[in-house]
Amino acid sequence: MESVAVGVLEPRRRFGRVPWLPLVLLAPLVVFGIGGKHVAPHAVTAFNLDATLQPPVFMHGGAWTHLLGSDPLGRDTFSLLIVGARTSLIISVVGVALAGAVGVLVGVAAGSRRGALDEALMRIVDMQLAVPPILLAVLLAGALGGGLRTVIATIAVAFWPTYARIVRGETLALKQRDFVQLAVVAGSGQVRIARKHLLPNLLSSIVVVGTLQLGAAVGVESALSFLGLGVQAPNTSWGLMISDGKGYLDTAWWVATFPGVAIAMTVLGANLLGDWLRDELDPTTRDR
């Protein structure tokens, strides 16, 4: 059999291009998140009623002791930001991961099995989506008490239906594609098809949805803490910081603004990272 002249491209190394911008934006979150209170210049519980509402160092009246100023209780804004990062990071990542795990499982199951299982699962999804997140938070807070766990649970419960819907839709579309049909012809069972054909091709959607949800989760956490349903004192989070600072926006803007900026950076960084990750994970776009 004669050999066909093959113009086969050499595959490029995985993760060749480095995504600088997202990494820069997310680096502080990660560093602070991991370091937590060990990295912070002041203890979060260090109330200093002599130095309340001190402005940041670059403003008149500021000092290096409180780099970004201090809050109404004299706590160092910078330290709060660092410790709050850890809280926000844990909550968002765990919450979205849980939502993703459940959502993808449900979506793939419903999409590949169809029939009664699909109907049942999608009705649950619908019912879930009908409940407003805030109400959900209140109910869960009532059941579990406030704090970290409540927020994580709220995020997981509020976000998994979105995942399930999207994944189910994509699964349905994937199932019709030739290569999946041919996998059936090749004798592959449903589990093998889900593992080798569906999930890898769902990956980019899952990643993109995940990063968007990460951003949203940080926002949800902030909102809940703002409302008092989430993280409670003496713990801190970015949302709580905003809540504490909301009354001082015209006098001591730094208390609420820095955490706001931190949230924006995180959301943007997560989305950009998601874009990069999606392109890297897709072999067809990777080599361009």
Partner 1 sequence: MSDALLELRGVTRLFPVRGKPLRALDGVSLSVEPGDAYGIAGESGSGKSTLVRLALLLDRPTSGAVYFRGRDLATLDRAGRAEFRRSVQAVFQDATASLNPRQRVRDLVAEPLEAQRLGTRREIDRRVRDGVVEVGLPERALRSFPHQLSGGQRQRVAIARALAIEPSLVILDEPVSALDMSIRSQVLNLLLELKERHGLTYLLVAHDLALLRHVTDRIAVMYLGRVVEDGGTDDVFASPQHPYTEALLAAVPGSGVERSVVAGEVGPASALALPSGCRFHPRCPHAYERCPVDDPPLYPAGPGHVSACHLVEAGTKRGRLAAAP
Partner 2 sequence: MTLLEVENLTTRIATRGGAFNAVDGVSFALDRGEALGLVGESGSGKSMTCLSLVRLLPKRAAQIVDGSVRLDGQDLTALPERSLRRLRGSEIAMILQDPLLSLNPVFTIGSQVAEAVRLERPRPRRDEVRARTIAELARVHIPSPEQRLGSYPFQFSGGMRQRVAAAISIARGPKLLIADEPTTALDVTTQRQFLDLLTELRREDEMALLLVTHDLALVRETCDRVAIMYAGRIVEHGPVGRVFDAPSHPYTRALLESIPSLTGARRARLTQIAGEPPDMHELPVGCRFAPRCPFADERGRASYPPSFAVPGGGEAACWLQGDRG
List of residues contacting partner 1 (CB under 8 A): 1-4, 6-9, 11, 177-179, 181-189, 192, 196-197, 200-201, 282-284, 287
Of the residues 14, 38, 60, 288, which one makes contact with partner 2 according to CB under 8 A: 288
Q: Is 11 in the site for partner 2 (CB under 8 A)?
A: no
- CA separation for the pair 84, 199 (Å, rounded): 34
Q: Is 7 in the site for partner 2 (CB under 8 A)?
A: yes
In the bound state with partner 1, the residue whose beta carbon lies nearer, of 3 and 251, is 3
> Quick one: which of 286, 91, 126, 113 has its CA closest to 203?
286
104-123 core/surface letters (b: 16 or more CB in 10 A; e: else): bbbbbbbbbeeeeebeebbe
Shortest spacing between CB 205 and partner 2, in angstroms = 24
Of the residues 1, 5, 18, 135, which one makes contact with partner 2 according to CB under 8 A: 5
> Quick one: which of 28, 147, 160 has its CA closest to 98?
160
In the bound state with partner 2, the residue whose beta carbon lies nearer, of 13 and 60, is 13
Tell whether the torsion through CA atoms of 225, 228, 234 and 240 is positive or negative.
positive
* Residue 145 binds which of partner 2, partner 1, none (CB < 5-8 A, kind-dependent): none
Q: Is 4 in the site for partner 2 (CB under 8 A)?
A: yes
- CA separation for the pair 75, 160 (Å, rounded): 37
In the bound state with partner 1, the residue whose beta carbon lies nearer, of 20 and 179, is 179
Q: Output the DSSP codes for 207-228.
A: HHHHHHHHHHHHHHHHHHHHHT
- CA separation for the pair 245, 242 (Å, rounded): 5
**What is the size of the binding site for partner 2 (CB under 8 A)?**
5
Residues near partner 2 (CB under 8 A):
2, 4-5, 7, 288
